[in-house]
């Protein structure tokens, strides 16, 4: 009789124990979801939020500690359990309570995500969707952080990139917008502690699996462009059909060229002790350079700029070593070279614009039109004033090695192999040779064509000229195009006092006034 009287109490105790256990398990799942989505429950201390980052390290530590505490509670409740089973009515009651709590926590998580600082961490205006394929809100928010391409390393250090993003200041006007950390979907998925919320990672992984669209970087400003894959491929094939610059080759051609390059380079490097130290920069199993296209949003018809990634290719690592002393020498032949738009602002902030106007000149397909002979002439001019101790090898071998790197022009697009038989490939260390060639032209003739009363500044292939208001811009354009048959220019003048340059659209007066105040 006593046992019959104790059973209701045992059932009640077991019911409350299992209810607490279920509540703790659901709560732990909720906290784990908060950690994955990088949001804080409303019960968290206010001081854990940060003005500088969407999700702080202290917030992460708080949630991890909460997970450990809940795990301890769950283990203790499991150990204190009885062997008595609950009657069916109580089991049904428990299941219903679990369902209600799960739905409540799901709603809470959704609400927290909807108010997360991550939603405003990027800028939606950097996204240009040319595909007519709608993107959902989370996909847009993820892409608004910006686009970074694979650096060739096994894994991105996302937290470091994020920290750099968060340290962005208004004076960094050359950024244009806060650079994000999106790019290599596989790296995002494999990172042990991803720097992005789970919903963003999922959205990016889903986008990465799409075969109907291409997500790439805009040619200027670092914006994100979404294109139909068919349109992207058609534009690239149209570009590659230029027989004056590219030629389709047979399969295996790139492999033979890589072997030939390595043999000739090894022969040169083996002659000296300094050279032997560079043999390790040759790839054991090189792969062909790969071409991709960047849409020129600022051009009619959105043509593509060809970018060749040589990571893992036969000349890439050696070319980086050879290009280093040349990169340092940028601006030594011509003072027109700009590092970024901040450099431009610093150099023209005190210019008196009274009686002046601006025009933006653009070099047509600079890198594919730079003659190899001219590029090597520019390299030799720089090397003449460089001490041999500043070079990785003696000057004679250096010139030979640079020449071999310049002439290595094979690459792949999709499954096809091509060779570039004119100009230089953009996106590789060889770009510096093209920059030096432009400096050579500027020092010899281009700046002189504009006249002593004009100021000429160039960033890569974009030139901004400040000139007297009575200057005939079209006449100057004709004279510039007569200087060199390979280097041809287009021009864009101010419209209502507004000039686009480096993706900064400001009137010349406003540009200087606003950006001076930022400095």
Sorting pLDDT into bands at 50, 70 and 90, what band is 7?
low
Query: H/E element holding 357?
Result: strand 356-363
Q: Are 363 and 489 in contact (CB under 8 A)?
A: yes
Sorting pLDDT into bands at 50, 70 and 90, what band is 154?
very low
Task: Give pLDDT, residue 122.
Answer: 80
- Nearest to residue 299, comparing CAs of 413, 461, 145? 461
Sorting pLDDT into bands at 50, 70 and 90, what band is 498?
low
Interstrand relation of 224-228 and 127-129 (parallel, antiparallel or unpaired): parallel
The mean per-residue pLDDT over the stretch 362-379 comes to: 90
Task: Give pLDDT, residue 83.
Answer: 57
Q: Are 337 and 330 in contact (CB under 8 A)?
A: yes
Task: Give pLDDT, residue 99.
Answer: 97
Q: Where are the beta strands (DSSP E) in 103-230?
A: 127-129, 213-217, 224-228
Sorting pLDDT into bands at 50, 70 and 90, what band is 227?
very high
Q: Give me the phi and psi of 332, to 5 degrees please.
A: -80, -25
Sorting pLDDT into bands at 50, 70 and 90, what band is 2?
very low
| 36 vs 183: which has the higher pLDDT | 36
Summary mean pLDDT of the chain: 83
Least confident of 104-118, 251-265, 317-331, 405-419: 317-331
pLDDT 10s digits, 61-110: 999 999 999 999 999 998 887 656 788 999 999 999 999 999 999 999 99
The mean per-residue pLDDT over the stretch 280-288 comes to: 92
Task: Give pLDDT, residue 502.
Answer: 54
The CA distances from residue 350 to 340, 347, 512, in Å, are: 18, 7, 9
| 492 vs 496: which has the higher pLDDT | 492
pLDDT 10s digits, 174-211: 333 333 444 434 444 455 566 678 898 888 878 878 88
Least confident of 154-158, 231-235, 270-274: 154-158
Q: Which residue has the tokens 């160039």?
A: 458
| 180 vs 350: which has the higher pLDDT | 350
The mean per-residue pLDDT over the stretch 272-301 comes to: 91
Output the pTM of the full model. Answer: 0.74
Task: Give pLDDT, residue 500.
Answer: 59
Q: What percent of the chain has pLDDT over 70?
A: 83
Q: Are 411 and 289 in contact (CB under 8 A)?
A: yes
User: Helix, strand, or coil here: 152?
Assistant: coil
Interstrand relation of 213-217 and 224-228 (parallel, antiparallel or unpaired): antiparallel
The mean per-residue pLDDT over the stretch 482-502 comes to: 81
pLDDT 10s digits, 261-278: 999 999 999 999 999 999
Asked if the model's pLDDT at residue 6 lies above 80, the reply is no
Give ∠ CA 295-297-300 in degrees, rounded to 5.
105
Token pair belonging to 286:
């090189």
The mean per-residue pLDDT over the stretch 371-392 comes to: 91
Task: Give pLDDT, residue 100.
Answer: 97
Asked if the model's pLDDT at residue 135 lies above 50, the reply is yes
Sorting pLDDT into bands at 50, 70 and 90, what band is 147?
low
Query: H/E element holding 166?
Result: helix 158-166
- Structural domain boundaries in the chain: 2-117, 121-232, 242-518
Task: Give pLDDT, residue 50.
Answer: 78
């Amino acid at each position: 009789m006593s046992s019959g009287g104790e059973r209701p109490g045992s059932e009640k105790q077991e019911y409350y124990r299992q209810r607490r256990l279920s509540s703790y398990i659901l709560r732990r799942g909720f906290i784990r979801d908060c950690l994955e989505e990088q949001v804080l429950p409303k019960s968290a201390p206010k001081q854990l939020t940060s003005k500088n980052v969407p999700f702080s390290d202290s917030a992460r530590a708080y949630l991890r500690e909460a997970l450990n505490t809940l795990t301890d509670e769950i283990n203790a409740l499991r150990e204190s359990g009885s062997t008595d089973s609950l009657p069916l009515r109580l089991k049904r009651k428990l299941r219903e309570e679990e369902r209600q709590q799960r739905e409540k926590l799901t709603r809470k998580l959704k609400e927290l995500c909807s108010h997360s600082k991550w939603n405003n961490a990027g800028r939606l205006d950097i996204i240009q969707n040319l595909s007519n394929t709608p993107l959902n809100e989370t996909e847009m928010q993820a892409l608004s952080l910006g686009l970074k391409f694979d650096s060739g390393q096994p894994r991105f250090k996302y937290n470091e990139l994020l920290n750099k993003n968060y340290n962005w200041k208004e004076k960094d006007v050359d950024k244009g917008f806060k650079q994000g950390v999106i790019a290599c979907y596989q790296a995002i998925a494999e990172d042990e502690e991803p720097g992005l919320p789970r919903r963003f990672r999922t959205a990016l992984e889903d986008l990465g699996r799409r075969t109907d669209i291409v997500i790439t970087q805009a040619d200027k400003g670092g914006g994100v462009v979404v294109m139909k894959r068919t349109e992207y491929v058609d534009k690239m094939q149209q570009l590659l059909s230029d027989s004056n610059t590219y030629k389709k080759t047979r399969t295996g051609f790139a492999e033979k060229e890589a072997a030939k390059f390595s043999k000739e380079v090894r022969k040169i490097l083996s002659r000296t002790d300094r050279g032997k130290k560079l043999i390790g920069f040759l790839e054991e199993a090189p792969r062909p350079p790969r071409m991709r296209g960047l849409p020129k949003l600022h051009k009619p018809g959105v043509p593509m700029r060809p970018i060749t990634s040589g990571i893992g290719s036969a000349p890439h690592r050696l070319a980086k070593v050879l290009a280093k002393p040349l990169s340092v020498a940028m601006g030594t032949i011509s003072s027109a070279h700009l590092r970024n738009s901040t450099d431009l602002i610093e150099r023209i902030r005190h210019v008196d614009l009274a009686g002046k106007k601006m025009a933006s000149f653009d070099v047509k397909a600079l890198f594919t039109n730079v003659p190899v002979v001219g590029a090597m002439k520019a390299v030799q001019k720089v090397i003449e004033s460089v001490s041999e101790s500043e070079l990785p090898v003696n000057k004679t071998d250096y010139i030979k090695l640079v020449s071999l790197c310049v002439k290595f022009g094979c690459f792949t697009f999709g499954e096809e192999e091509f060779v570039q038989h004119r100009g230089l490939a953009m996106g590789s260390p060889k770009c510096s040779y093209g920059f030096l060639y432009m400096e050579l032209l500027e020092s010899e003739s281009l700046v002189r064509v504009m006249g002593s009363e004009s100021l000429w500044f160039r960033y890569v292939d974009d030139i901004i000229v400040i000139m007297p208001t009575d200057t005939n811009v079209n006449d100057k354009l004709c004279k510039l195009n007569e200087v060199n048959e390979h280097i041809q220019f287009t021009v864009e003048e101010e419209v209502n006092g507004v000039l686009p340059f480096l993706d900064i659209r400001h009137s010349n007066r406003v540009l200087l006034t606003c950006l001076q105040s930022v400095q």
